[in-house]
Structure formats: structure tokens, C-alpha cells
Amino acid sequence: MRPFLLLALLVSLPVAVPAAPRGDEASARAALAARFDAALRGDLPALEKWLADDLEYCGVSATCSTKAQYLESVRNGTRKFKSLEPKVERVTMYSDTAVLTGKVYAVSIGDGTVRNVNAYFLVVLVWRDDRWQMTNQSSTLLTPASK
């Protein structure tokens, strides 16, 4: 009889464990706002928290960075902003994933020159460790007409 009890316990485990609270749209928006704010302030501990370990960060020049590469660029000052204004235009929620799209208006000062970088962004957040984490950001420069 015991094996069957053990087997029943194993099968019922996913049902018996209470589901962790999941993020909603408001918390996804807040997480993205916090992520942009951390990027503006160059706040490495906050970025460490908001960026997923498997981050793919693809900029307007089509080059992609890992989380380590992204954090290093913030640390060494090559990625630095004077201002960073995101406007989220669409949020689509899935079970443990949120896809956010919109525009971001940035003034970059990281390479020693002041540069306006206005772009469409596509962000994927995943719900891990009881919080949203950004696992992908991909951007395309805006046309003058689409600003």
C-alpha cells in the first residue's frame, strides 16, 4: 500500500503547494519604470535586481548584450543618460510573462557626447523569485515622423 501512498503524494504535490502570487499589469508597469529609473541613475544594485540573469539587451545598433556586459557598461560609464523618458503604450499579460511596448526618449551622454536617442522598445518581463525581471529589451530608432 505504501508505494501507492507515496505515488499519490508525488502526483498531488503540484496541487497541494499553494500558488505564489503572480505579478499583474500594474506591477509589470512599475517594474519597467523602476528599471528605466535605475538605468538613469546608474544604480547597479537596482539593475542587478531588475535584470534577469538570462537578459538579452539589444540596442538600436543591433548589437546585443548579456546582463554582465550591460552592467559593466553602466559601471564603466559607457552607458550613461542625462534623461530617460519611457512611454509604455501596450502591455500584454501572459501566465508568467509580460510583454511591454512603447517609446523611450533618451539623452545619452555615455560616450562623451550628448546624443538624442529616441526609440521604440520591446520588453519582455518574466515573473521569477516573486518579482518581475527583464529578460529581453530590443529597440528600433524612431523615424522623425513617428516621434
The SS3 call for residue 101 is: strand
- Read off the C-alpha cell for 92: 500584454
The site string for other proteins over 31-70 (x = CB under 8 A, - otherwise) reads -----------------------x-x-xxxxxxx------
Residue 112: Cβ-neighbour burial (10 angstroms; 0-12, 13-18, 19+) = exposed
Is 53 in a helix, a strand, or coil?
A: strand
Question: Which backbone phi and psi does 38 adopt, to 5 degrees?
Answer: -65, -35
Binding residue for other proteins (CB under 8 A) from 16, 90, 113, 130? 90
Q: Does 113 bind other proteins (CB under 8 A)?
A: no
List 65, 66, 108, 140, residue binding other proteins (CB under 8 A): 140
Residues 2-31 that bind other proteins (CB under 8 A): 2-3, 6-7, 10-11
Q: Contact at 8 Å (CB) between 89 and 121?
A: no
Residues binding other proteins (CB under 8 A)? 2-3, 6-7, 10-11, 54, 56, 58-64, 90, 92, 94-97, 99, 101, 120-122, 124, 126, 135-136, 138-143, 146
